[in-house]
Amino acid sequence: LSVSLTLALDAMGGDDAPDMVIGGIDIAHRRFPDVRFLLFGDESRLRPLLAARPQLAAACSVHHTPDVVTAEDRPSQALRKARNSSMRLAIDAVRDGAAGGVVSAGNTGALMAMAKVVLKTLPGIQRPALATCLPTLEGETVMLDLGANVESDEYHLVQFALMGADYAHTVRGVANPKVGLLNVGVEELKGNEIVKAAGQILRAANPPFIFHGFIEGDDINKGTVDVVVTDGFTGNVALKTVEGAARMFTEFMSAAYRDSFRARLGFAVAKPALTALRAHFDPRAYNGAVFLGLNGIVVKSHGGTDEIGFANAVVSAINMIAERLTDRIVADFEHFLAEVVPDSKAAAS
Amino acid sequence: LSVSLTLALDAMGGDDAPDMVIGGIDIAHRRFPDVRFLLFGDESRLRPLLAARPQLAAACSVHHTPDVVTAEDRPSQALRKARNSSMRLAIDAVRDGAAGGVVSAGNTGALMAMAKVVLKTLPGIQRPALATCLPTLEGETVMLDLGANVESDEYHLVQFALMGADYAHTVRGVANPKVGLLNVGVEELKGNEIVKAAGQILRAANPPFIFHGFIEGDDINKGTVDVVVTDGFTGNVALKTVEGAARMFTEFMSAAYRDSFRARLGFAVAKPALTALRAHFDPRAYNGAVFLGLNGIVVKSHGGTDEIGFANAVVSAINMIAERLTDRIVADFEHFLAEVVPDSKAAAS
């Protein structure tokens, strides 16, 4: 693939940074040799890592940053204090047009707060939302918001629906994404007032995606829709609930394997099939949540990921920039959101 | 065990009723021969089923009811129309003191509405909540509310915490239950206003359980706490999300098993361990959600369950009546809730 663009990296974010970051972009570099990387971090640590990778080094420029946002920093603290941090300066590079997007495995709250203040939301978008992909029986689904907001009104949910559909379309190649609103039942009368109002808006409007209607929690992994829309509180709980259920299942599987000699033998024979099964649920394959709705692509990698997981977050950021996801959200605002969200035209101007 | 009490049954609720109901109470009868069953339903269908089980028949009395609440009936319709239904008359038997509780596999919304109107809430309890047990890495956890309410304020959450702790204590035998509030982070500052306020009340008060603080979605299956407290919207989504994740996992396991001759061979050898694993997640073992907070025990069985699942719902109802769960909630109201929930004393009188 010949993709030519520039990506900024918070090289100091994450448990195993900067080694994991350099290892990750090295993997991404082999897939996208024309992509340039702006590395923000401790020069004395980055230079030796790049010296060992001359091909990657030619695609990188290093920008020394003295500070680091830690996992303990509160978002408000990070905003005030960390103006010379690797995270902040990587985001600034996106604002200044030097890069199309940024990837960080650092403090989520700080990244969210800084990105919102520095990059601002796109015209027509009142709140950015955090989205990721999840495995389903049918393939994958996009879910948002995963916790960028703790409370959402019906218009926020409608904006999330649009941004999620654009993400599924541009990044995952779903021509006509099916969007569902997460609820406690599928009938129109079910749910709280906000979900019911969002359902009414989407049913009455003519959105640039298929509005499937309400879905329930078990529809997430069933793959009923391409995009699962919900408020940040419910979405955060649902995402972590899936992660917890997957962990319980794999731990019980491992325990079953240790159960007896016979079990160990059987699982050894079935190993290729089990390895394929495990790969299907490899959390590294789903690493990288994107903040949708900002002037620029902002991808959050899991802090505890390794270079393979980080590479996946980098590749998804490259795809979103190359497919011009933000342009598409802006165009959809003009054609759809401005009609259904009151005052959004005024808010956007 | 010598447990002597009376249980009312909606013998017509559920996909395979009344056969599944009679089969279920037959299993429960062998465990609790001194429990009496009041069967509400179509006499012409119940009599032949009992005739084939003379021992069970001696523990039953049949009350003919001409009407049935269907799965399609709206709660409000069922309340108005179905005064002679098996569901309604079984609940009436609890109100009249003829039975200590009722089990139904019928329409959830109708059961919830009827039980609330007929039985009324316990003194000090503003809203009943739906609770069930879930498997965890550590054993089991109780989760509530699962959808009896679509919106809850902080005082409702505090009442749910108390009722969930009483359930864990009396029915599951947890001497000092650990209770967690489901949230989007564990820090005190995380979450929406309602969850934060409920956390403050529980931290400041001296509840008759261990308040663990906030928990996240992955703590549900991790078994971090004995009781997971949340609003009905989030709880319903989280429960169904766990169910959907479990289904995805087992379907992928089955697909891995069919993957190749080698996989089939390996899984055949490991079968005893896999059977034990599957038993651990058997949804029939977790069948039966209880409406807590009413004047009487009301247990909802899955509509699609078989007689083994229905028997589990019946056994859990028997346990709750025998352990005097409602008395304990009333006592806790007097010792704890009346102090922390404003106006609850007035509301109770």
Q: Give the model confidence (pLDDT) of A97-124 as tens digits.
A: 999 999 999 999 999 999 999 999 998 8
Q: Does residue B208 surpass a pLDDT of 70?
A: yes
SS3 category, B69:
coil
Q: Supply the DSSP symbol for B336.
A: I
**What is the spatial distance between Cα A127 and Cα A120, in angstroms, rounded to a whole number?**
10
Partners of A273 on chain B (C-beta within 8 Å) are 256-257, 259-260, 262-263, 266-267
Lowest-pLDDT choice from B41-50, B219-228, B258-267: B258-267
Question: In terms of DSSP bridges, do strands A289-292 and B36-41 run parallel, antiparallel, or are they unpaired?
Answer: unpaired
Question: In terms of DSSP bridges, do strands B289-292 and B297-300 run parallel, antiparallel, or are they unpaired?
Answer: antiparallel
Q: What pLDDT, on a 0 to 100 scale, did the predictor assign at position A306?
A: 94
- The pLDDT of A80-99, averaged and rounded, is 94
Question: In terms of DSSP bridges, do strands A129-136 and A289-292 run parallel, antiparallel, or are they unpaired?
Answer: antiparallel
Q: Which residue of B has its CA nearest to A145?
A: B184
CB of B222 within 8 Å of a chain A CB? The answer is yes
Contacts of A233 (CB under 8 A, 6+ apart): A147, A150, A151, B184, B191, B192, B234
Q: What percent of chain B stands above pLDDT 90?
A: 70
Mean pLDDT (chain A, rounded): 91
What is the phi/psi pair of residue B48, to 5°?
Answer: -60, -35
Full-model pTM = 0.91
A167-196 tens-digit pLDDT: 999 888 899 999 999 999 988 888 999 999
Q: Does residue A324 surpass a pLDDT of 60?
A: yes
Q: Does residue B201 surpass a pLDDT of 90?
A: yes
Structure tokens at B182: 């489901």
Q: Does residue B37 surpass a pLDDT of 80?
A: yes
| Interface probe, candidates A221, A257, A267, A286, chain B, greatest B C-beta count within 10 A | A221
| A263/B252 touch (CB, cutoff 8 Å), yes or no | no
| Interface probe, candidates B152, B186, B187, B221, chain A, greatest A C-beta count within 10 A | B221
Cβ B226 vs Cβ A202: under 8 Å: no
**What is the spatial distance between Cα B121 and Cα B110, in angstroms, rounded to a whole number?**
16
Looking up tokens 């079990």 gives: A263
Beta-carbon count within 10 A of B135 CB: 21
Cβ A346 vs Cβ A57: under 8 Å: no
